[in-house]
A and B are shown apart, each in its own frame.
Chain A
Amino acid sequence: MIGVEIIIALLFIIPLAGALAIPFLEERRKSAWSLGVILTLTLTILSFFLAIHTSTGGGVDVFSNTLHVDSIGSLIAFVLSLSSLIALYGSLPIVSEWKTRAGFYSLSLLMLFGVYALIYVANLLVILSAWILASIASYTIVALAKDDYSAEGATKYALMGSASSTLLFLGVALLFVISGSLSLEPISKIYASTLLATAIFLIAAIGFKMGIVPFQAWLPDTYGGVDPVLISFVSTAAKAMAIATLYRVATALAIGSPHTWLILVAVFSILTMFYGNITALVQNNAQRILAYSSIAHAGYLLIGIAAIAPIEGIVREWAIYGLLLQYMAYSLGKVGAFLTLAGVRKTRGRALLEDLRGLGRRDPVIAVAFTMLLLSLMGMPPLIGFWGKLFLFASVAFAAPWLTLIALLNTAISVAYYARIIKAVYFEAGGREGVVFHTTLRQAVIVAAILTVVFGLGLGQILLTLI
């Protein structure tokens, strides 16, 4: 039996070694950059193994208590690795034409390394170092396309990112002052005012990464403008990073003053959902619609974070199930959808709604897969996105029925813009030239769609038994 520490060590060593080796290897062998995909596959298998390994018991502390390895963390790591694998595999044909291809795979692995650390984090210093590592990697990845959009997106992302990192330092420092220790433990005795300040700093800094309103300003320009092939990876990794870190912070902070926590996070959640969904309605750029839908999904996920607060009536177990399944729906959906748009943009130079016209006739397989992913993001049963939302929204239905109602209303609003994309794919005539999807990109989108269906039909439930 291999100990948890060794698997965890492998989970860190493999991406780090890969990240450092790939640029050097490429000097010798031209195709060395594709090593990144193989390493991500290894990581996927490892994280799944870890998830099974940690499914019983309350988790173990490793590396002098700086990391806390538990089942929910391992499952998020598994979903992250799986969707990163799909994203990296699907981006092969497009990225291979760039000079910066080695950098993409190297930085992706580096970012994964940082995010893995954040998923299991139990120490304040690790939060800071891993956060900076993953953040810098993500800013650089966005810049890799080396065009105007990339320049704009990366600059905004990095500028806002450095500002928000300052807040993270402040928040972590406050956390240290309150708890008097470097380890991230539940803090029960805390003044509501101190909690409020700490929580606001931390939510602002961490939530910035997934586009929580009012820290979302960079997201529409970055996710909506930069080459979608990069966004397919960054969006899923950044969401994992934010949601896992927020989850860890929430377990530490929410106990002290649960009602304040619930209200505070719920307010952020409501703002984020409404902003994302309503603004998406008038966009004509499919990629921008998906960018705004990313904001809306950040709002849905925040409900799960709000429900970490130990209040009577909240079903915390469901909130955790919901976080996992909704994260899975989000990452599979976004990876596949952004990859599809990357294929469209490769041919057309852009991905407006009108560029999707006629896709349903010319490439029915991709069209069906794309539609499945959108339906899952929309929350159509029995796809994975439905279960995620069901668990998330139901977890607070008794303690905060208004939040459930607002969230459901938002999903009703969101139907309109997802349906506009589907309408463009199937129900609008036009589209002169065909869009050619490269083989691996096609396979990646199809796999994402199949997983969305299969996990929705029952595999997701099996995953839940591992928690």
Chain B
Amino acid sequence: MHEFTIAAWLTPYIGAAIILLLYKTGDRVKGYVAVLSILIAALVSTYAALLVHEHGKPLYVAFEWVESLDVTIGAYFDSLSSLMALVVSWLSFLIAVYSLEYMGEDPGQTRYWFFFSFFVGSMMLLVLSDNLITMFIGWEGTGLASYALIGHWFTDEEERWVGDPGRKALGIQMWFEPSHSGLRALVFTRLGDVGLLVGIAVLHLILGSTGFYEILEGAKEWSSLLYMRGLLGIFLALFILGALAKSAQFPFHEWLVTAMTGPTSVSALIHAATMVKAGVYFLLRFVPIFVVAEHALEYLHLPGAGIIKDFFAYIALIGAFTAFLMATMAVVSRELKLILAFSTASQLGYMFLGTAAGALTGESLLGVIAGFSHLASHAIFKASLFLAAGAIIHAVHSRFIDDMGGLAKDMRVTFIAMTLAALSLAGLPPFMGFWSKDMVLLAGYESKASIPLLLGVVTAGLTAAYTFRMIFRVFLYKTSGDSHHEHHVHEPGKLMLVPYTLLAILSLLFGLAWPFIEEGILEWFARGTLGIEEGVVHIGIEPELAAPTLTIVFAGIFISYYVYQYRLATPMTYISRNSILNFLHKFLYDRWFINSIYYKVLVRGFRTLSVVTYKFIDRLVVDNFYHIFLPTSFMRLALDTRAKLEHWIDEGFHIYLVNGILGISGRVRRIQNGILNYYIVMLWLGLSIILIFLWLLMGWPI
């Protein structure tokens, strides 16, 4: 009856196909097809979410697809996926509208809109899947679209690069062209997917299915079996690898940074609001199931429960470390989009921290709400920030914040929108970002994960500092010699302006409404999410936690204000005088040298290996052995044999035979006997050697 809800992911795919067929028609049409197909998807997901709300139980549609693997394809709307679908589809819609204007002049319209719609379809499929296989299909589809869109401007003009041209760290170049960045993103994320696929295969082998419901029902079975075989820890580590890579968590974070070579609308959609959240969504989907597995193991009195707890602790630590690591890089970055990219990876770290730390309490509900709230609020304010940044970069024709400054008077609406969104990112009440970040930290607090919590609180201060550094440097701060943008800077058109202003206002409105809808959200998640049983969870402000966090946030804002607005200082002149500070700056600016180390060790290593294999095996061994040694030895053998044989034959036919005919019989008899003896000796000798070999090698056969 509700079969049509599969339109939530199917229509964008159909839209993509139509765009491909329209490749010869006008460019406007392609954009409209994409926007329309995404709008239909958004409306269908809204309708489905309302149905879920009304009935209070998940909405589930499934068609048989791959019988031999027990794979179905359909749409599964539970509390978690229906909200996620809402966030994804409506944000995609707004960003598609923005793209109509932003990409209006671009020559690669077919490619852009095809991959845009294809991406939305894959993302919705990922979110609405009821099993791992179709989820993985959506998962790979988003990665493919991301690869294509990062490299959209493949002509590699310098304007599209990321990083300072000419800069090197540890001898490795630190600037990246779009086509190179696309490749990086694909290879980095595919590495993680290897782990995910192993996990999928293992679950399917144990359970005979990869359905989420079956995995939940069989939690006791697979967890105890894997524990018995000593594989539980390895399984969990591999299974989550895909999520870590997709969501750019340490050590996979590098790809997201350079992904900023894509069009800004793409950065907003894929690399801030949706695709990078797929890893978080995966975690949100599976943490409740893991918690059920943990309880099952506890019930069986198996120590495996401890492994699952450790797993959560590690994930929380990785998340917190990523949050901190990326925030430190954002503090020194000079590129507007890079600041936002660092910040995205940092906030994703918060989501991992919140979800995993929440699960450490023994109940998954708190973590899921914390993780999802921050996911949703971040999607809204970060999309707004990115879209506004796109308008600014477009207006100033530079990606460096040094070339900006004082834009507030020319771009007033953008200034207000971006400030609203920035307040949310910095985590100030009453903005949405405050509540969700507080929930994440609360999860860390409740689970007594002290190191992640500490990192989280420090990061909150860093976040506030770099956010306001960005706002001041872009909109207010103006040094005397600053006249880079001679041409007239102006606001973008309505199609661009409305989406990000609307999103900024939403982040304020949701923040204002939060205290009133808090209980409702708690109940919503507790009632209809796969694997969550109703538990007693306390959410709300914890003064012991909120007070120091807010203090450090205000301190961060104040420092930025003091340095950039009050003193109008240029910290670089000071830093470059002090060698220790200078090194620290270089360390942070070159992203902790992690990229250089990867290139030095991994990329060069693989390259060398490949060249060596090719040179050594193919050119040296194969060419010399097969193509030179073997042929020449065969040739020599053939020549020798021929020479000898011909000699004999010559002699035989022309001398001895003739002589024999002539009657010199004694000589003939001797030679004939000689050849015969020689052959017989050869035959026996050869056979004996082979037989001895056989005997030595494998005993007497049979």
A321 and B68: CB pair below 8 A? yes
B191 and A393: CB pair below 8 A? no
Minimum distance in angstroms from A75 CB to a CB of chain B? 14
A191 and B699: CB pair below 8 A? yes
A419 sits at the interface (CB 8 A): yes
Contact A382/B144 with A191-B699, A278-B610 known, Cβ cut-off 8 Å: no
A275 and B179: CB pair below 8 A? no
B179 and A427: CB pair below 8 A? yes
A368 sits at the interface (CB 8 A): yes
B207 sits at the interface (CB 8 A): no
Kindly supply a per-residue 1/0 record for chain B positions 355-394, scoring 1 wherever the CB is within 8 Å of any chain A CB and 0 otherwise.
Answer: 0000000000000000000000000000000000000000
Kindly supply a per-residue 1/0 record for chain B positions 457-490, scoring 1 wherever the CB is within 8 Å of any chain A CB and 0 otherwise.
Answer: 0000000000000000000000000000000000
CB within 8 Å of B: which A358-407 residues: 364, 368, 375, 380-382, 386-387, 390, 393-394, 397-398, 401, 404-405
Q: Which chain B residues lie closer than 8 Å to A317 at the CB level?
A: 68
A420 CA to B69 CA in the complex, in Å? 33
B190 and A398: CB pair below 8 A? no
Minimum distance in angstroms from B255 CB to a CB of chain A? 13
B617 and A275: CB pair below 8 A? yes
B626 and A409: CB pair below 8 A? no
Could you say which of B93-101, B194-202, B513-521, B592-600 contacts chain A? B194-202
A73 sits at the interface (CB 8 A): no
A245 CA to B639 CA in the complex, in Å? 36
Q: Which chain B residues lie closer than 8 Å to A408 at the CB level?
A: 194, 197-198
Q: Which chain A residues lie closer than 8 Å to B178 at the CB level?
A: 427
Could you say which of B180-188, B437-445, B548-556 contacts chain A? B180-188
The chain B residue sitting closest to A429, CB to CB, is B155
B147 sits at the interface (CB 8 A): yes
A464 sits at the interface (CB 8 A): yes
Q: Which chain A residues lie closer than 8 Å to B136 at the CB level?
A: 381
B198 and A315: CB pair below 8 A? no
A30 CA to B688 CA in the complex, in Å? 58
Minimum distance in angstroms from B361 CB to a CB of chain A? 33
B589 sits at the interface (CB 8 A): no
Interface residues in B, total, Cβ within 8 A? 59
Cβ contact of B613, chosen from A194, A279, A380, cutoff 8 A: A279
B701 and A381: CB pair below 8 A? no
* Number of A-B contacts defined by CB within 8 Å: 141
A282 and B23: CB pair below 8 A? no
A196 sits at the interface (CB 8 A): yes
A105 CA to B204 CA in the complex, in Å? 46
A14 CA to B392 CA in the complex, in Å? 70
B201 and A397: CB pair below 8 A? yes
A118 CA to B33 CA in the complex, in Å? 52
Q: Which of A194, A218, A427 has the most CB of B within 10 A?
A: A427
Q: Which chain A residues lie closer than 8 Å to B69 at the CB level?
A: 390
A197 sits at the interface (CB 8 A): yes
B701 and A177: CB pair below 8 A? yes
Kindly supply a per-residue 1/0 record for chain B positions 690-702, scoring 1 wherever the CB is within 8 Å of any chain A CB and 0 otherwise.
Answer: 0000100111011
A196 and B698: CB pair below 8 A? yes
A156 CA to B190 CA in the complex, in Å? 37
Q: Which of B65, B137, B194 has the most CB of A within 10 A?
A: B194
The chain A residue sitting closest to B234, CB to CB, is A401
Q: Which chain B residues lie closer than 8 Å to A401 at the CB level?
A: 198, 202, 231
A381 and B140: CB pair below 8 A? yes
B140 and A461: CB pair below 8 A? no
A67 CA to B274 CA in the complex, in Å? 56
Minimum distance in angstroms from B694 CB to a CB of chain A? 8
CB within 8 Å of A: which B231-275 residues: 231
Cβ contact of B151, chosen from A193, A283, A427, cutoff 8 A: A427
B175 sits at the interface (CB 8 A): no
Q: Which chain A residues lie closer than 8 Å to B198 at the CB level?
A: 397, 401, 404-405, 408
A282 and B614: CB pair below 8 A? yes
B702 and A393: CB pair below 8 A? no
B3 sits at the interface (CB 8 A): no
Minimum distance in angstroms from B17 CB to a CB of chain A? 11
A423 CA to B156 CA in the complex, in Å? 12
B191 and A419: CB pair below 8 A? no
Kindly supply a per-residue 1/0 record for chain B positions 119-154, scoring 1 wherever the CB is within 8 Å of any chain A CB and 0 otherwise.
Answer: 000000000000001001100110010011001001
Cβ contact of B614, chosen from A217, A279, A404, A411, cutoff 8 A: A279
A267 sits at the interface (CB 8 A): no
Enumerate chain A interface residues (CB-CB to B < 8 A). Answer: 156, 159-160, 174, 177-178, 191, 193-194, 196-197, 217-218, 220, 275, 278-283, 315, 317-318, 321, 364, 368, 375, 380-382, 386-387, 390, 393-394, 397-398, 401, 404-405, 408-409, 411-413, 415-416, 419-420, 423, 426-429, 458, 461, 464-465
Q: Closest 7 A-B residue pairs measured CB to CB? A: A427-B154, A193-B698, A281-B610, A381-B137, A394-B201, A397-B201, A408-B194
Enumerate chain B interface residues (CB-CB to A < 8 A). Answer: 20, 23, 65-69, 110-111, 133, 136-137, 140-141, 144, 147-148, 151, 154-156, 178-179, 182-183, 186-187, 190-191, 193-194, 197-198, 201-202, 204-205, 231, 606-607, 609-611, 613-614, 617-618, 622, 625-627, 630-631, 694, 697-699, 701-702
**17 A-B pairs, CB-CB below 8 angstroms?**
A160-B626, A177-B702, A193-B699, A196-B698, A197-B694, A282-B611, A381-B140, A381-B141, A390-B69, A393-B201, A394-B201, A398-B202, A398-B205, A401-B198, A401-B231, A415-B190, A427-B154
Contacts beyond the supplied A398-B205, A464-B68: 5 A-B pairs with Cβ under 8 Å: A282-B607, A380-B140, A397-B205, A408-B198, A412-B194
